[in-house]
Amino acid sequence: MNIQETYSSLGLSDFEYDRILELMGRAPNFLELSLLSVMWSEHCGYKNSRPLLGRFPNEGPRVLQGPGENAGVVEVGDGWALVFKMESHNHPSAVEPYEGAATGVGGIIRDVLAMGARPVALFNSLRFGPLDDERNRYLFREVVRGIGGYGNAIGVPTVGGEVEFARAYSGNPLVNAMCVGLVRSEDLMRARAVGEGNLVVLFGAKTGRDGIHGATFASDELSEESEEKRPNVQVGDPFAEKMLVECSLRLLEEGLIVSLQDLGAAGITSSASEMAAKGGVGIEIDAEKVPLREEGMEPWEIVISESQERMLAIVEPEKVEEVLQVAERYELVAAVVGRVTGHGDMRVMNRGEVAGTVLARHLAEAPVYEREVRTPAYLEEVRKLDLEELPAPQDYNSVLFSLLAHPNLCSRRPVYEQYDHQVGTDTVVLPGADAAVMRVKGTTLGFAATTDCKGRYCYLDPRGGAAAAVAEAYRNLSCVGAEPVALTDCLNFGSPEKPDAYYQLVTCIEGMAEACEALGTPVVSGNVSLYNETEGEAIYPTPTVGMVGVFEDVGRHATSEIKREGDALVLVGDFRPVLGGSDYLEIVHGRVAGAPPAPDLASGKAASDAVRRAIAAGVVDTAHDLSGGGLAVALAEMAVCGSIGAEARLLPGGRQDVALFGEVGGCILVAVPEGRLGELEEHLEGVHYSRIGGTGGGRLKISGLIDAGLDELGEAYERDLFERHAPEGGHLG
């Protein structure tokens, strides 16, 4: 292999290789080239997204740590802080779904752990191709098993998330995992190496050949050859990770370490060089001192191996003995594998000889690409939607049943029942609600979190769709009564080298940034996953939002199910439903077209804030946001989950299918006892709202169009997602 073939096979371009020659002033050896190739991969180096990410606001009154660390941090109150981040594991999950999803969970837990926090809640946002395809069913089933297999064993509850199906994700599923941790703010750790002469301790599992060049694999498009990269996927051991979590927390509690960093993509290289670059120091790693799982590993393999369940700590020499003893108590392998130095290099030594050395700064500074932004031709085409062409339904009941039974709208119970969502005894509101609600033990405080994104909206309208994702997260948190604080994101897109996907990336980021500004929710951490394409076809642009909110009194929260007969049903927000981009349009009419509802950020925020204040005041305990399937599906969910019926009438004007099933960007349904209606109205001053009906009985009735028993609605809604073999309805986008 000549040098060009070598660096190409490592994923480096000619331009990048020339840049390396320029920076180093000499030709790199193979080890150095390996270090640079993994650190300059899109996955580690954010080559295409870094200049764009600067558009996000990332400051706010509660923000303790914005982007640039292992995870973002916000204040809850009483000295407690929430540490959270979301990350993708799409490519590994496409070829080895169980392990890909499992190690995605493991990786995000270590990010939160590295900040010194105990991981307390997990979320996942999943996308697959339609379930009429055997391969998609396999991916879905195994990803869910993998998430459960890891999360359940490690004892961190999986309390929320989302799953959607669309043709665009066939062959390239999305597996985004989010972890939230809790820490006393004075105990926050940061991943920077300091103190020349301090030692580098590697602890956890042994290092093997698994996941060599995983980061490079994650930065490429998927193709038929991707199957051959199965050995690039790491294998997870949740048992080892559980010990790693307890061991790390003990080391932190006893004040034995200076700094902590997890090992993820690009293994020791990434961890050590990032710590060195942030601390403005150098790190030397003695490759032969790394405890190995197999014999005969080369130094370059050792330093880029992505073996799971390992952490790196910087330790003062006099505390090393104690650190090793704590690791032994938790039955983990630990070894001093290097030292902090003054030379600024990430240097790999092998039996006293320099095997390779690169300035840590150079590893951290992947070249940046800014590309031309061109509006894609497809946009104009897909936005065309003439309502006149759509026949009005003959039978509104059967439309409602087919929506409720559709994989994109039906109950997620078969998924979340496979996840332990109660371990830790802090889960206040169980999965199935608009957002998960957790308490902070020993206080009245709590937090809520949700993950949201409609890829179909973002495909039809990148700017509006991405803003809608932020707005929906804001609304979901408000529906449970939490004050939205900040968000993490996982930006899943196609290849930035293709104009359509690059436009989607740029425009979605702009839309998100605008929504974050308008709603006052900064972005404090995130992850970018590009090259999500199979055989040249890109996924829907999917900028997943993971937002957290806080409660002063977590006892004052709301859930979506109807709780009493005789409550008034109040629709809060500016109700202007549209069919563009709706689930109804796709499921019933087989079309992905039109302009999705534009989020009116200001009025949507006012509606959400008003509902949240009513919940905090103890006036409201039942609220649900209007989302896919519109008003009819939202009402049906509230009735089925509460086992109490409801009767509502549509507001006058417009097409009836639009009013029933059309989607809208800022509305919430609230149920409140008649006697408290006056109090609710005080909270709603200045906000659009209308009373549309009341609760009671065993049926759902809407304006003479819908009249269905709760049992038949429940039967449609509660179908088992894992036992679907026949195509659903025939037209999935």
Residues belonging to the active site: 43, 89
* 441 is a contact residue toward another protein (CB under 8 A): yes
| Residue pair 511/465 in contact by the 8 Å Cβ criterion | yes
Measured from the CB atom, the residue of 85 and 421 that comes closer to another protein is 421
Measured from the CB atom, the residue of 420 and 600 that comes closer to another protein is 420
- Distance of alpha carbon 169 from the chain centroid: 16
For the stretch 290-294, contacts whose Cβ atoms lie closer than 8 Å and that sit 24 or more positions apart, written own/partner, are 290/202, 290/207, 290/335, 290/337, 291/202, 291/206, 291/207, 291/333, 291/335, 292/206, 292/207, 292/208, 293/205, 293/206, 293/207, 293/208, 293/209, 294/208, 294/209
Instruction: Please state the closest distance from residue 331 (CB atom) to another protein, in A.
Output: 6
Of 75, 237, 284, 657, the one binding another protein (CB under 8 A) is 237
Instruction: Please state the closest distance from residue 502 (CB atom) to another protein, in A.
Output: 41
Instruction: Please state the closest distance from residue 116 (CB atom) to another protein, in A.
Output: 18
Give whole-number Cα distances, 439 to 427, 429, 728, in Å.
Answer: 7, 9, 39
Task: Give the 3-state secondary structure of residue 185.
Answer: helix
Two structure tokens written together for 114: 């590295």
* 195 is a contact residue toward another protein (CB under 8 A): no
> How many Å from the N-terminal Cα to the C-terminal Cα in the chain?
44
Give residues 328-347 in contact with another protein (rule: CB under 8 A): 330-331
Two structure tokens written together for 516: 């974050």
Instruction: Please state the closest distance from residue 207 (CB atom) to another protein, in A.
Output: 19
Of 646, 606, 603, nearest to 622 by C-alpha is: 646
For the stretch 329-333, contacts whose Cβ atoms lie closer than 8 Å and that sit 24 or more positions apart, written own/partner, are 329/247, 329/250, 330/243, 330/244, 330/246, 330/247, 330/250, 331/243, 332/203, 332/204, 332/205, 332/240, 332/243, 332/244, 332/247, 333/203, 333/204, 333/205, 333/206, 333/291
* 230 is a contact residue toward another protein (CB under 8 A): no
Give residues 519-558 in contact with another protein (rule: CB under 8 A): 554-555
Measured from the CB atom, the residue of 309 and 514 that comes closer to another protein is 309
Measured from the CB atom, the residue of 237 and 663 that comes closer to another protein is 237
Spatial separation of the C-alpha atoms in residues 422 and 439, rounded to whole Å = 12
* 239 is a contact residue toward another protein (CB under 8 A): yes
Of 84, 165, 419, 575, the one binding another protein (CB under 8 A) is 419
Two structure tokens written together for 669: 């349904």
Instruction: Please state the closest distance from residue 247 (CB atom) to another protein, in A.
Output: 10
* 16 is a contact residue toward another protein (CB under 8 A): no
Instruction: Please state the closest distance from residue 210 (CB atom) to another protein, in A.
Output: 18
Measured from the CB atom, the residue of 347 and 421 that comes closer to another protein is 421
- How many residues does this entry show for the chain? 733
Measured from the CB atom, the residue of 228 and 331 that comes closer to another protein is 331
Instruction: Please state the closest distance from residue 149 (CB atom) to another protein, in A.
Output: 8
Strands (E), 41-188: 63-65, 72-77, 80-88, 118-128, 158-165, 174-184
Measured from the CB atom, the residue of 150 and 300 that comes closer to another protein is 150
Give residues 87-126 in contact with another protein (rule: CB under 8 A): none
Instruction: Please state the closest distance from residue 212 (CB atom) to another protein, in A.
Output: 25
Which residue is it, tokens 């425009």? 507
Instruction: Please state the closest distance from residue 243 (CB atom) to another protein, in A.
Output: 6
Measured from the CB atom, the residue of 63 and 244 that comes closer to another protein is 244
Two structure tokens written together for 116: 């010194």
Spatial separation of the C-alpha atoms in residues 47 and 273, rounded to whole Å = 17
Measured from the CB atom, the residue of 236 and 543 that comes closer to another protein is 236
* 432 is a contact residue toward another protein (CB under 8 A): no
Maximum distance among all Cα pairs of the chain, rounded to whole angstroms: 83
Of 148, 282, 629, 693, the one binding another protein (CB under 8 A) is 148
Between the CA atoms of 337, 303, 86 and 360, what dihedral angle is there, to the nearest 10 degrees?
80
Measured from the CB atom, the residue of 208 and 238 that comes closer to another protein is 238
* 622 is a contact residue toward another protein (CB under 8 A): no
CA atoms within 13 A on the CB side of 719: 19
* 423 is a contact residue toward another protein (CB under 8 A): yes
Q: Which stretch binds another protein (CB under 8 A): 235-243, 462-470, 518-526, 527-535?
A: 235-243
* 154 is a contact residue toward another protein (CB under 8 A): yes
* 421 is a contact residue toward another protein (CB under 8 A): yes
| Residue pair 303/215 in contact by the 8 Å Cβ criterion | no
Which residue is it, tokens 């080391």? 251
Of 439, 456, 591, 683, the one binding another protein (CB under 8 A) is 439
Could you count the other beta carbons within 10 Å of the beta carbon of residue 196?
13
Say if residue 147 is exposed, middle or buried (CB neighbours under 10 Å; 0-12, 13-18, 19+): buried
For another protein, what does the binding mask look like between residues 628 and 667, x meaning CB under 8 A? Answer: ----------------------------------------
Identify the H or E element spanning 309. Answer: none
Of 58, 125, 136, 152, the one binding another protein (CB under 8 A) is 152
Q: Which stretch binds another protein (CB under 8 A): 368-376, 411-419, 489-497, 626-634?
A: 411-419
Spatial separation of the C-alpha atoms in residues 569 and 553, rounded to whole Å = 25
Instruction: Please state the closest distance from residue 234 (CB atom) to another protein, in A.
Output: 17
Q: Which stretch binds another protein (CB under 8 A): 272-280, 412-420, 460-468, 531-539?
A: 412-420
Of 30, 3, 31, nearest to 18 by C-alpha is: 3
Of 53, 153, 194, 677, the one binding another protein (CB under 8 A) is 153
* 422 is a contact residue toward another protein (CB under 8 A): yes
Of 436, 433, 338, 109, nearest to 244 by C-alpha is: 109
Q: Which stretch binds another protein (CB under 8 A): 7-15, 31-39, 92-100, 232-240?
A: 232-240
| Residue pair 283/346 in contact by the 8 Å Cβ criterion | yes
Two structure tokens written together for 534: 């199979």
* 394 is a contact residue toward another protein (CB under 8 A): no
Of 51, 367, 376, 424, the one binding another protein (CB under 8 A) is 424
* 417 is a contact residue toward another protein (CB under 8 A): yes
Instruction: Please state the closest distance from residue 145 (CB atom) to another protein, in A.
Output: 8
| Residue pair 35/24 in contact by the 8 Å Cβ criterion | no
* 428 is a contact residue toward another protein (CB under 8 A): yes
Instruction: Please state the closest distance from residue 423 (CB atom) to another protein, in A.
Output: 6
Which residues contact another protein (rule: CB under 8 A)? 148-149, 152-155, 237-240, 242-243, 330-331, 416-428, 439, 441, 554-555
